[in-house]
Amino acid sequence: MVIDCVVVGAGPAGLAASAALSERGVEHLVLERGRAGESWRTQRWGSFRLNTPGWMNQLLGEQAPDAYATGPEVVQRLDALAADAPVHAGVRVERLAATTGGYDLRTGDGSIHAHTVVVATGDQNLPRIPALARTLADRVAQHHTADYRVPSQLPAGGVLVVGSAQSGSQIAEDLLAAGRRVVLATSPVGRLPWRHRGRDTIQWLVEAGFFDQRPRDLPDPSQLHAAQPILAAGGRSLSLQALARAGATLVGRPVAVDGERIAFDSSAAANVDAGDAFAAPGCGRWSTSSSPAAAWTPHPPSPTPPTRPWRWTRRRSWTCAPRRSPASSGAPGSAATSPASTRPCWRRTGNQGARTPPRWRRASGTSGCAG
Ligand SMILES: Cc1cc2nc3c(=O)[nH]c(=O)nc-3n(C[C@H](O)[C@H](O)[C@H](O)COP(=O)(O)OP(=O)(O)OC[C@H]3O[C@@H](n4cnc5c(N)ncnc54)[C@H](O)[C@@H]3O)c2cc1C
């Protein structure tokens, strides 16, 4: 079969590409290994809400400007878009090779030659679990963000959430709201206040052209893989301080595992400071990243090479909880989730106080700091 264009993936990006191609009368197919919006169907937790307000998600169709859609609402809207697109669901592209005059695609459903290919396979849908996790004792249950749904799916007791960017912080919140004891292994991630001078912070970013930046505009390509700053879902601010106030015990990065004992480094205070510095007036590294969250950072973030030309993995948060009885587990200092290192857990109990949102301008050149 020969066709002008093939779009691989029917997530938001693939469906947007398809709509643009249709508008311009370009003959094309959208090949999707699962169902349209597969990542949204299978990799979001129960209390999930978009952290981008309705006015910003124009692809998803009409909605209240300040609405923060749930996972099922997003799926419903993507389904509606897919109904108008030439989507072939259940067709996985297994191989993509450049040939004269285009590309050969090998799929589970035969081969296709396309003059052009749009790769829209997403960069956040392959769970990546840190090597350290493999050495945890079998009786410590482990879940990746992608398969976390609700607190009750975890065994009773405390939960260690590893990674404090977008997903890790929201899941820690979810667990705290359900009354679980939470130890949060933090990472050096910035944070954004929800509002600044009466408007959504994200609105300032849009108007400054932050989201118009292309990868080649970035002074350092590795910035694409940096963790995105925390922007709370549902129209409010979220910080490590707020999570500590709600009861989370903040610790640093896990550095060693011995059966059921986990040792952390002493970076917790520095990680809180990194969030504060990002949100502080005068120095927001706005130009640095439009990339998605990377909550698990066992090593300094580094670009992950593509496993295939059109697909690569992405770090995300990871939780583990003891499989044993509540009486013997969970509390920081107890075996299963405890920081076993001699370094103390770090917990801030004081008031966060009102943070002045950043006074910033779009940085250019090599400097991300507006000074
Ligand atoms: C936990 C989490 C929360 C997020 N929250 C937000 C948010 O609030 N707001 C926001 O704007 N963004 C959010 N994002 C980012 C979000 O993932 C992207 O905005 C959006 O889903 C990216 O769309 P995409 O089409 O590029 O990728 P995806 O939605 O991942 O779609 C890729 C599609 O390609 C398909 N596919 C992959 N490989 C193949 C193959 N070989 N053959 C055929 N099909 C294939 C997949 O099945 C999938 O359907 C979040 C991400 C995560 C992980």
For the chain, the straight-line distance linking the first and the last C-alpha, in angstroms and rounded, comes to 56
Tell me: the pLDDT tens digits for 105-126? Answer: 999 999 999 999 999 999 999 9
Q: What is residue 296's predicted lDDT score, i.e. its pLDDT? A: 24
Give pLDDT, residue 321.
Answer: 62
More confident of the two residues 168 and 329? 168
DSSP string, 275-310: HHHHHSTT---TTS---------SSS--PPPPSBTT
Q: Render 244-267 in DSSP notation, one character per residue.
A: HHTTPEEE--EEEEEBTEEEE-S-
For ligand 1, what atom is nearest to the CA of residue 314?
53
The candidate with the shortest Cα–Cα distance to 364, out of 222, 209, 196, 189, is 209
- pTM of the predicted model, to two decimals? 0.78
For the chain, the structural domain boundaries read 2-119, 131-290+306-366
Task: Quote the tokens at residue 360.
Answer: 């910033």
208 CA from centroid of ligand 1 (Å): 25
- How crowded is residue 228: how many other Cβ atoms within 10 Å of its Cβ? 19
Q: Using an 8 Å Cβ cutoff, are 11 and 37 in contact?
A: yes
**Ligand 1 centre from 347 Cα, in Å?**
34
Q: Are 28 and 86 spatial neighbours (Cβ–Cβ below 8 Å)?
A: yes
| Mean pLDDT lowest among 128-132, 159-163, 240-244 | 128-132
Sign of the CA dihedral 277, 279, 283, 284? positive
What residue type is 110 in one-letter code? G
2-119 adopts what CATH topology?
Answer: FAD/NAD(P)-binding domain (3.50.50)
- Protein residues whose CB sits closer than 6 Å to any atom of ligand 1: 8-14, 31-34, 38-39, 44, 50-52, 92-93, 120-122, 124-125, 145, 167, 292, 311
pLDDT in tens, 8-57: 999 999 999 999 999 999 999 999 999 999 999 999 999 999 988 999 89
User: Which of 276, 291, 285 has its CA nearest to residue 188?
Assistant: 276
Q: Would the pLDDT of 353 be above 60?
A: no
- CA 20 / ligand 1 centre spacing (Å): 18
Number of H helices, E strands in the chain: 7, 15
pLDDT in tens, 203-215: 999 999 988 988 8
Name which of 186, 269, 190 is nearest 227 in CA terms.
190
Q: Is 143 exposed, middle or buried (0-12, 13-18, 19+ CB in 10 A)?
A: buried
Cα(52) to ligand 1 centroid in Å equals 14
How many CA atoms lie within 13 Å of 331's alpha carbon, on the beta-carbon side? 5
Cα–Cα distances in Å, from 259 out to 140, 262, 322, 323?
9, 8, 11, 13
Amino acid in the structure at residue 212:
D
The pLDDT value recorded for residue 157 is 95
13 neighbors 120 (Cβ within 8 angstroms): yes
Q: How far is residue 103's CA from residue 81's CA, in Å, rounded to a whole number?
A: 26
The one-letter amino acid at 195: R
8 A C-beta contact, residue 302 and residue 222: yes
- Say which residues have a Cβ less than 8 Å from residue 72's Cβ, sequence separation at least 6: none
Tokens matching residue 359: 């006074």
- Cα separation of 297 and 166, whole Å? 13
The whole-number pLDDT of residue 274 equals 94
Distances (CA, A) of 129 to 132, 163, 166, 297: 8, 12, 17, 10
Three-point CA angle 321, 322, 326, nearest 5°: 110
* pLDDT score for 197: 87
CA 14 to ligand 1 centroid distance, Å:
9
Model pLDDT for residues 292-333, shown as the tens digit of each residue: 222 222 222 323 322 222 222 233 455 666 553 333 333 333
With the most atoms of ligand 1 within 8 angstroms of its CB, the residue from 6, 38, 93, 169 to mutate is 38
